A = this chain, B = another copy of it.
């Protein structure tokens, strides 16, 4: 058997060439060979909506729904605008409830209602329920397809139940055990059903030391629970501990990527811009706020420089040298800040470790500051043969690196304690501080030394 991935690469290329040739019968056959995730990728890469629709319409119904689920959001939006309601309703019916809810959530409310009205009563109720949770809460990412049985049921009865609903339970690995009020008591892995006698009640073999999560909990917290306890699935309960759904780890993989990406984009000052193609207008809208804010803080830094106009008029090269000090401080501050922001997000750094962390960062800054200060001093001396300039830049470098360590650590930790997202607001604090104070320290030392 050749490597599946390699085969797919070839088939994808083949499919693309068939798209161009216009041979729909062969195209249909070729698509049938591919995994829906691969077809979705091809859909994403097609330029026009017409091409996307043409390929989509050739897919068998169950492949079509899985393909739509796997496609990027912009592709899905384009397709959904053109697919008639009767077909979308079928997609909703075929998908797991969590994926159905995700697709509906992207549509206007009026169409949501219309589509739910076309669905089976069960889908309408379950997907409707899911839509009522916040999109980034445990309830918003769970599915309602849960295998559950009473504690008094026997192994035989549970096996029969799984058999009878094997269609719905394609990814079920556990049966959750509840009392007569649907309250969660424990779980039995499917594997146990193979091991035990049919007459044993689930109560006797269930694992009761189980972890569950409230439907209102944030998805980032849910992801931490999955990672921490190496879970494959997690039962979701309501305020009365009644079982309402289940989250599977494949959805958590997406959450983890999403949260990491979000943190990176926030650090760069790109609010919630999607990675995938978007319009320049949308990009301007998501990036301008950060740049606008930076315009104001940069102006404050420039005004700091203006305090020293006299010194600069006398020693014009200072204008260049001060940017070296600020730039080094900015980079060192971003290093510290990124480490702390990421450490906080992953739970590896705790605000309680403040003093230890600060001490380590300040010592690091002192070490790097001395090295870089000497380096800068030597460079400046070789360049300008001026001991004063050389000494001033060396001292200013050490001081600005210490400032960078202080702000780089305190900004994210402080914001976290104030319950503000450290990723979104730390960067502006750090670069403003290292620019402004870097200029100030260098120029005031210089004006003192040359007075």
Contact = CB atoms under 8 A, between A and B. Distances in A.
A322 B323 CA distance: 10
A152 B316 CA distance: 85
Interface stretch (A23-31, A76-84, A106-114, A253-261): A253-261
Given A191-B172, A287-B368, A346-B275, A269 B331 contact: yes
Given A35-B229, A195-B166, A372-B295, A335 B281 contact: no
A360 interface: yes
A306 B332 contact: no
Given A321-B302, A435-B327, A267 B269 contact: no
A187 to B, nearest CB: 13
Nearest to A325: B298
Interface in A183-207: 183-185, 190-191, 193-195
Interface in A214-269: 214, 225-232, 241, 249-250, 252-254, 256-257, 260-261, 263-265, 267-269
Interface of A: 1, 3-5, 35, 37-38, 45, 72, 159, 162-163, 166, 169, 171-173, 183-185, 190-191, 193-195, 210-214, 225-232, 241, 249-250, 252-254, 256-257, 260-261, 263-265, 267-270, 273, 275-281, 283-284, 287-288, 290-292, 294-295, 298-299, 301-306, 309-310, 312-314, 316-324, 326-328, 331-332, 334-335, 337-339, 342-343, 346, 348-350, 353, 356-357, 360-361, 363-364, 367-368, 371-372, 375-376, 379, 383, 431, 435, 439
10 contacts: A1-B241, A5-B213, A252-B253, A256-B257, A284-B367, A291-B368, A302-B321, A306-B316, A313-B313, A313-B314
